Amino acid sequence: MRQKRAKSYKKQMLVYNYAFKFREPYQVLIDDQLVSDCQRSHYDLVGGLKRTLQAEVKPMITQCCIQALYSTRNQDAIELGKSFERRRCNHPPKEARSPNECIESVVNVNGSNKHRYVVASQDISMRRKLRKIPGVPLVHMSRSVMVMEPLSEASSHVNEVTEREKLLKGLNDPKMAGLKASSIEDYPENQPPAKKRKGPKGPNPLSVKKKQKKPEQGEGNGQEQDRGQEHENDGKTKRRRRRRHKSSQGNIDGQEDSAEEVETQGHPQH
């Protein structure tokens, strides 16, 4: 695959990823004609789908397409179709519809590609009908080359609408972010914006002197009581020293001198 074509295919798949929530591996519905053509030309169908979509794929086929392959009696094509995952179309084998009607009924669910299928078909009439449904990637074979059709008008219109809503509402809108309905109700669209405050602003808090706390009356009384208790405790533990007068001190000294004289008289010196 050429580089220019690969880039365009990658851009298209990014649109389907963001606008229509496609996820890997992509579910690819294959019709009976494409299976027969690939088997006849020995073309690797699954490998071609991976290279075209540039991602992992899950090939699927409906029961009606299998019945159409049985009618061809091409055993190799039948075995190739059986190797794909079977997609239930709720059409019994006895009342099998044509592959075009079957695939269209599976893809078109109330006008949208609800199950996000990629359709790989060789029928031009069916591809023309599916172009009217938004979000349906179409793949077909052209001269042994797998080609993906560009975005249809319906798909491009839905993509433009979603991109316009993102620009107007913003990516933070809960609806665009894919939140649940309960979370959307918490953020109503008609909520008035917050009003900006006008007028002079307050002073700089760093330049304002902090207020000093005044001691309360209860706290002051408690401190005085604590100091009184401390003085009482000091008085109990320390003895009070008494001061003696000079007259009493003189009498005491005289008594001591007389006592020394008596001792000397009783013991004469030799």
Q: What is the pLDDT of residue 219?
A: 52
Whether residue 9 lies inside any domain: the answer is: yes
Whether residue 16 lies inside any domain: the answer is: yes
Q: What is the pLDDT along the chain (270 residues), one digit of tens a residue?
A: 688 888 999 999 999 999 999 999 999 999 999 999 999 999 999 999 999 999 999 999 999 999 999 999 999 999 999 999 998 888 887 777 888 999 999 999 998 999 999 999 999 999 999 999 999 999 999 988 999 999 999 999 999 988 888 777 765 565 555 544 444 344 445 456 666 667 677 788 888 887 787 776 655 555 555 555 555 555 555 566 666 655 555 555 555 555 555 444 545 544
Positive or negative torsion for Cα 30, 33, 37, 40: positive
Q: What is the pLDDT of residue 186?
A: 47
Any idea what the CATH number is for the domain that residue 108 is in? 3.40.50.1010
Per residue in 182-206, pLDDT tens?
443 444 454 566 666 676 777 888 8
Q: What is the pLDDT of residue 166?
A: 79
Angle made by CA atoms 228, 233, 235, in degrees to the nearest 5: 95
Task: Name the one residue in this structure whose structure tokens are 């055993």.
Answer: 75
Q: What is the pTM of this model?
A: 0.61
Whether residue 252 lies inside any domain: the answer is: no
Q: Which helix (H) or strand (E) holds 213?
A: none
21 CB burial (10 A radius; 0-12, 13-18, 19+): exposed
Q: Which domain holds residue 60?
A: 3-151
Please tell me the total count of domains within the chain: 1
Whether residue 74 lies inside any domain: the answer is: yes
SS3 call for 140: strand
Whether residue 239 lies inside any domain: the answer is: no
Whether residue 248 lies inside any domain: the answer is: no
Whether residue 205 lies inside any domain: the answer is: no
Q: Which residues contact 33 (CB under 8 A, 6 or more apart)?
A: 99, 121, 122, 123
DSSP state of 81: H
Whether residue 13 lies inside any domain: the answer is: yes
Task: Name the one residue in this structure whose structure tokens are 């220019």.
Answer: 4
Per residue in 7-40, pLDDT tens?
999 999 999 999 999 999 999 999 999 999 999 9
Q: What is the pLDDT of residue 39?
A: 92
Q: What residue type is 51 in one-letter code?
A: R
Q: What is the pLDDT of residue 89?
A: 87
Q: What is the pLDDT of residue 113?
A: 93
